Every structure is written in C-alpha cells, then in structure tokens.
Homo-oligomer: A and B are copies of this chain.
Amino acid sequence: MTALQTQGGLAKAAAYTLSTAGTAKKNQALEAIAQILTERQAEWLAANADDVAAAKETGMRSAMLDRLTLTSSRIAGIVDGIRQVIALPDPIGTADKTETRPNGLIISRRRVPLGVIAIIFEARPNVTVDAAALCLKSGNACILRGGKEAIRSNRCVSALMREALVSVGLPEDCISLVQDTSRETARELMHLDGYVDVLIPRGGAELIRTVAKEASVPVIRTGEGVCHIYIDDEADLDMGAEILCNAKCSRPSVCNAVECVLIQENVLEPFLARAVPLLDSYKVELRCDEKALNILGRRGVLAQDSDWDAEYDDYILAVRTVKDMEEAVAFINVHGTQHSESIITRNYFKAQRFLDTVDAAAVYVNASTRFTDGGEFGLGAEIGISTQKMHARGPMGLEELTSCKYVIYGEGQVR
C-alpha cells in the first residue's frame, strides 16, 4: 500500500463516522477549528513566513507572493468564514421528496455526504481552511493537496485543524493533507479510485484541464472562465460600457471576469467611444479584430487566433465585431467555457433568446458577469464554480457537496 492509499483508507473510515455525526457535532468541530486558528495563529504565521521567504528566494512575482502571504487580519477573515459556514443550514439528512406509495411503502430521498472529497489547489493558504470547513459541514472527509509553495503553512494549519477535530471527539482523518507535493503524488491522487469519491481542482486553467483529462476518479471541473459580454445594437450603450468595465476591471484575476466583448457591427463605433475611456483608466490592453482596430487605431492591437479562446486573468480584453446576436451566441457556444455570459440589450425578445440559447452555467441580461459567485447567489459560501453539466453547475455550495439515498420504510411488502 502506498502512503496515499493508506491516507485514502483513513479518510474513508473517517467519512463513515462523519456521515452520521450530526449537525451539532460538526458545528462544534468547526467552532473548535475557529478557536485553535485564532489562539495559535502565531504558529501558522511563522510557518507562512517561512513559505514566503522561500518563495522570495525563488523569485515569485509579487501578485503571487501577495496571495501566499498570511496576516493577522487575513486569518481573522478566514476564521470569520468558518463562523459563516457554522451559520449555514446543514443539508445532510433533509429529504427533498417523500412519498407514500399505493402499496404502503414510504419512500424518502435523503441528502447524504458524497464521502471523501479530494481537492487539488494552488498557493493560497486560505483555500485549505475554506475547503475543509465546507467539506466538514457537509459531512465529507477531505484530502487536501495544496501547492508546494504553501506546504509549510498547510502542514501547520492542517495539523491544527486535526487537533481541533480530536478535541471534540471526531476522527482527525476527516481532514488530511497530502504531505508530498510532487507531481507524481498529484497524479496518484487523480487515480485513487475506491477511496476518492470526487476530486475538485481549484486553480488555473492548466491545472483544471490536466486533472479533467488525467483523472479516473470522478471530477468536478471548476473555474475555467472565458466569459463574454455581447453588446446588442439595442443596448443602453452607457450601461454596457459600465458593465463591461466592471466585468473586466473590478478583479481581473478571477474566473468570472470578462475576457472578450462582442459588439454588434452597427454600434461598434459609438460603443467603443463610450467604453474605451472607462477602460483607459485601468490601462486595459485591447486585442481587436480588424473592424474594431480600424476604429481604435493605435489604442488597440490586432488579435491573434489564440485571443478568441484566451483566459487572460489580467487587464487585457479581446474585442470582436459580430453581425448580429445569432452570430454572438454561436461564437460564445464555441469559444466560451460555459461559465458566465451576458447580453446588454433593451430588446425583450433578444434577451429571452440569449438566455435560452447560450449554453453556460450563468447567463445574464444587463448585468456584470462578476456576480457568478456563491455569496452573490445567496449560497453562503462556495467551494468553486462548476463549468460542467453533470452533478452541479455554477457556484457550488454545501448542497452541491452531497449525494442522496432513498430510504424505504416497509411492513413486509413484496413485488
């Protein structure tokens, strides 16, 4: 047995205990985690300082360094997040349908945990706690595999969380960390059939595609976001410019940021006249098709083919002219990642048709794509945004971390 198989077996056994632990016990464990992370944050900060120092030596760029770095106030935010998860309703044990059949059988469909959830993520140490808290509340054991840059922070915080679990009488293996951050171990985790019920990759597009392609365990794809905004010729162009600028610039690094604007040909010039000044204040680079470039001149650059599928996660925007909405929808359905798509229009029929025919987790009329988020959607918290159609689609909250089972009460029925 490999180390990871042993870890998988322990997680599976812990999941079995956790599945019937009850809401009060799970909340008690979450509160114990909140407390230990507050009281002993010095240990976590010290481990994180070592990670940061090592990352500086390897020349990590500053945006990444910032993501990696913990502070007291960031820890307070993480702890606050745990208390929000405590406040969320527990989906486990609820029945979404119950029926008494003509033969007297009472058939009820009950929410149950998925079992063992593995999460592969990158260098953000807050994910370690967020993910563990959501898995714990939904009755799932988790196996966390973070990036090597955060391994010291992750070792420390996972040990603290395991100590908190034991303090309330739950198995420590409800939460475990993959100690070895090699690619080989990540690959082994993708093939840990029989132990891992679901694998969720959280991170960049490359990570997600690799996992989806490689894994033999069930995967939920999350967070690939090549999102579009389509500016219809019946749009309120000022509103469109505001929404576009918000969707691009309010936080360009996230998956619900827009990457490409599609503009109906006959409003190309007036729309750009309104949008470009707003984008200028963020120095957004514009990668344009020929028609847009004819208007923008040296303000834009000519797009390459690869720009039409690019997830920039940066202050860069692809600009493309389309003949009409049908062309926009067809383009989106080919080049999008089924994440978030928006139309700006005053026309009722076009709005409805866009909603009907665009194939994505979230389709908007006259709003920024940036709203695709568990908090904004009222789920309370999210473990990621699913861009697949099976099991869950869009922001995944606690309920999306569950399965169901039918429980059937009989009194001797035979068929």
Contacts and interface: CB of A to CB of B under 8 A. Distances in A.
A109 to B, nearest CB: 8
A227 to B, nearest CB: 13
A154 interface: no
Given A370-B415, A378-B101, A415-B250, A405 B363 contact: yes
Contact of A361 (B99, B368, B406, B409): B406
Contacts of A393: 403-406
Given A243-B414, A357-B20, A390-B403, A99 B250 contact: no
A395 to B, nearest CB: 8
Interface string A9-24: 0000000100110000
A10 B364 CA distance: 28
A75 interface: no
B361 A410 contact: no
A389 interface: yes
- How many copies are assembled? 2
Interface in A192-242: 197-198, 213, 216, 218, 220, 236, 239, 242
B394 A391 contact: no
Given A366-B411, A368-B414, A406 B377 contact: yes
Interface string A106-135: 010100101100000000000000000000
Interface in A338-356: 355-356
B107 A250 contact: no
A378 B239 contact: no
Nearest to A246: B414
A216 B218 CA distance: 10
Contacts of A19: 356-357
A409 B372 CA distance: 13
A415 to B, nearest CB: 4
Contacts of A333: 16
A25 to B, nearest CB: 14
Contacts of A413: 243, 366-368, 371
A11 B115 CA distance: 35
A376 interface: yes
Contacts of A371: 105, 408, 413, 415
Most B CB contacts (10 A, CB to CB) among A105, A247, A408 go to A408
Contact of A412 (B101, B242, B361, B370): B242
B410 A366 contact: yes
Contacts of A250: 414-415
Nearest to A197: B389
5 contacts: A16-B333, A16-B359, A198-B389, A218-B390, A363-B408
Nearest 7 interchain pairs by C-beta: A367-B410, A246-B414, A389-B403, A391-B391, A370-B415, A366-B410, A362-B406
